Amino acid sequence: MIQGKNEEAFFPRKLRMGMVGGGRDAFIGAVHRRAACLEGGVELIAGAFSSTAEKSKASGRDLYLDDSRVYGTWQEMVEVEAKLPSDQRLDFVSVVVPNHMHYPIIISLVEAGFNVVTDKPLCHTVEQARSIVRAVKAAGVLFGVTYNYSGYPMVRQARHMVASGALGEIRKVAVEYPQGWLAERVELTGQKQAEWRTDPARCGITGAIGDLGSHAEHLMSYITGLQIADICADLTVFVEGRQLDDDGAMLLRFTNGAKGMLSASQVCTGQENTLSIRVWGTKAGLEWRQETPMFLRVRSNSGPEQLYTPGNPWVCEAAADGTRLPAGHPEAYIEAFANIYKNYTDTLRARILGIEPSEIMLDFPTAEDGARGVAFLHKVVESSQSAVKWTPFDFAL
């Protein structure tokens, strides 16, 4: 599918990408652009980058876009771009705005027939999430959510080892995501990233759990395939004056009898971005840490701990497919992010060519994953407010 690897399924042009959000001062938009373009098969063509027309135009110039494809509002972009002839029309649009704007933009894009990639979380409410899933089905568009940590090769190796039975039956999962940057009230200093992440209007019903815990939940689900049965959560606002949780921890029970611990925090002073997961089964256990993402440690009671690294012939196909360099040449956050885009766009190319995408291509988070994530956040908040120990997580679309 990727250029040159298969002459029969050769895709003859770069995909045309649009973007909503991601103007000057934004952080994640630039990551999406680098990630989408890393393989050389995608070109950014159009965008509505900012809340004001002037800023949007300036951002478009920074990105060398044709001025005619840079819009003052996302509504204008959807309206105009939807009418373009097929040889100019965007192949997909990435949505990288703050959380509260996800829903209307996504719905509008999907209903106008655009394929969409969106940052997580999918949206604010479970109702919105259900609407999006329904709209995606109705429109028949391809939809992806950038739970980017599942793009790391060693995360895929972890998933492979669980799925292949190398760990035996899973008994226990510990996933955590401590950060420390909001240990003080940074949102009052003009730091834009801190401002919207602590503002209920823009961030939704939860802070740390929504921002970080949602990644943890997806990583856990992605690797283990386990389904949460019950949640017992305790969210905390540590920094005085803040409205949303800046810390949370929970016990989990899974439908197969396994148990879990999940925590996320923005006030773990000195922690940078310390997402980690450990999974223990009847036969073996594994550990992966985002800050040293090249290493997957696998432990058992029957031999020495093993250190899996990418680029070696003994890693699984999905890991190999997301690895660009020989062993020992580290790849990191942007490359993992790019792997989500790679699979999404390969699937998109297959669709356009009318061929069947491979299992590996289909390995990217979907609207359903995003919806489950939104439901999870709501149940966590519900559990945290409850005096009863266990809150069932009975999510169904």
Phi-psi category of residue 154: left, alpha or beta, with phi > 0 → left and psi -120 to 50 → alpha = alpha
**How far is the CA of 372 from the CAs of 61, 129, 154, 351, in angstroms?**
38, 8, 24, 25
User: What single string gives the DSSP state of each residue in 195-232?
Assistant: HHHT-HHHH-S-SHIIIIIHHHHHHHHHHH---EEEEE
- The DSSP call for residue 70 is B
State phi, psi for 185 to the nearest 5 degrees.
Answer: -85, 65
Considering only 20, 101, 244, 294, the residue that binds a second copy (CB under 8 A) is 294
> Given the complex with a second copy, which of 109 and 284 has the nearer CB atom?
284
Restricted to residues 200-239, the positions that interact with a second copy (CB under 8 A) are: 232, 234, 236, 238
Tell whether residue 178 is a contact of a second copy (CB under 8 A). Answer: yes
Considering only 58, 80, 82, 84, the residue that binds a second copy (CB under 8 A) is 58
> Given the complex with a second copy, which of 302 and 359 has the nearer CB atom?
302
Q: Which amino acid is residue 334, in one-letter code? A: I
- Structure token pair of residue 273: 């971005």
Tell whether residue 356 is a contact of a second copy (CB under 8 A). Answer: no
Tell whether residue 353 is a contact of a second copy (CB under 8 A). Answer: no
> Given the complex with a second copy, which of 34 and 134 has the nearer CB atom?
34
Q: Residues near 355 by Cβ (< 8 Å), separated by ≥ 6?
A: 9
List of long-range contacts for 123-128, beta carbons under 8 Å, 24+ apart: 123/99, 123/370, 123/374, 124/99, 124/100, 124/204, 124/205, 124/374, 125/374, 125/378, 126/371, 126/374, 126/375, 126/378, 126/395, 128/103, 128/374
The residue assigned the tokens 């929504």 is 210
Tell whether residue 63 is a contact of a second copy (CB under 8 A). Answer: yes
> Given the complex with a second copy, which of 61 and 83 has the nearer CB atom?
61
> Given the complex with a second copy, which of 116 and 167 has the nearer CB atom?
167
Tell whether residue 190 is a contact of a second copy (CB under 8 A). Answer: no
Tell whether residue 33 is a contact of a second copy (CB under 8 A). Answer: yes
Restricted to residues 329-348, the positions that interact with a second copy (CB under 8 A) are: 329-335
Relative orientation angle of helices 333-353 and 28-37, to the nearest 10 degrees: 60
Tell me which stretch binds a second copy (CB under 8 A): 90-98, 220-228, 279-287, 358-366: 279-287
Restricted to residues 10-29, the positions that interact with a second copy (CB under 8 A) are: 10, 12-14, 24, 27
Neighbours of 347 (CB within 10 A): 22
**How far is the CA of 370 from the CAs of 50, 132, 266, in angstroms?**
24, 10, 22
Tell whether residue 106 is a contact of a second copy (CB under 8 A). Answer: no
Smallest separation, CB 137 to a second copy (Å): 32
Tell whether residue 151 is a contact of a second copy (CB under 8 A). Answer: no
Smallest separation, CB 153 to a second copy (Å): 12
> Given the complex with a second copy, which of 38 and 362 has the nearer CB atom?
38
Considering only 165, 200, 306, 356, the residue that binds a second copy (CB under 8 A) is 306
> Given the complex with a second copy, which of 190 and 304 has the nearer CB atom?
304
Output the CA torsion 103→106→110→111 (10° steps).
50
Tell whether residue 285 is a contact of a second copy (CB under 8 A). Answer: yes
Tell whether residue 323 is a contact of a second copy (CB under 8 A). Answer: no
> Given the complex with a second copy, which of 14 and 137 has the nearer CB atom?
14
Considering only 64, 68, 190, 359, the residue that binds a second copy (CB under 8 A) is 64
